[in-house]
């Protein structure tokens, strides 16, 4: 999995700004540039640690799951640890982060995913 382009990172930044603005869930004290830096750092961390994550997965999941399936496992665990009990996104239709435009053009690479309840 390659690191995101600058354009994709900016697309995510704009989408997150719109998402939190609509929810009236401000980042309080976090400037727009700080959010962009956080997105850049997150992408860089994923790039640097993707092999470690894949090596930590048990077989046969490690060898049989697709990249998208492994990514959904990672995101599901991360969201649950943060107190979110569903993956709030659909790749096509409905509401959520992806269809709200946070991932913008990159969503074309995702399979159709409906909300996934984690509890």
Of 13, 43, 115, 80, residue with least CA distance to 21: 13
Helix, strand, coil distribution of the chain in percent, nearest 5? 55, 5, 40
pLDDT on residue 56: 97
Q: What percent of the chain has pLDDT over 90?
A: 37
pLDDT in tens, 15-52: 888 877 777 667 778 888 999 999 999 999 999 999 99
Residue 93 placed within a domain: yes
Bigger pLDDT: 107 or 23? 23
Residue 60 placed within a domain: yes
pTM: 0.71
- Around Cβ 13, how many Cβ atoms within 10 Å? 19
Residue 89 placed within a domain: yes
Residue 113 placed within a domain: yes
pLDDT for residue 93 is more than 60:
no
Residue 101 placed within a domain: yes
Count of domains for the chain: 1
pLDDT for residue 85 is more than 90:
no
Query: Which helix (H) or strand (E) segment is 87 a member of?
Result: strand 86-87
- Domain extent, residue 66, equals 6-117
Residue 88 placed within a domain: yes
Of 28, 40, 118, residue with least CA distance to 81: 118
Residue 1 placed within a domain: no
């Amino acid at each position: 999995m390659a690191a995101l382009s600058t354009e994709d990172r900016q697309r995510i930044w704009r989408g997150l700004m719109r998402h939190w603005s609509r929810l009236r869930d401000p980042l309080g004290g976090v400037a727009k540039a700080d959010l962009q830096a956080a997105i850049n750092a997150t992408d860089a961390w994923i790039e640097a640690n993707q092999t470690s994550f894949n090596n930590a997965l048990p077989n046969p999941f490690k060898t049989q799951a697709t990249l998208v399936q492994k990514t959904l496992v990672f995101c599901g665990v991360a969201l649950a640890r943060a107190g979110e009990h569903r993956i709030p996104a659909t790749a096509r239709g409905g509401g959520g982060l992806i269809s709200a435009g946070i991932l913008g053009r990159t969503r074309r690479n995702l399979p159709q995913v409906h909300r996934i309840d984690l509890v």
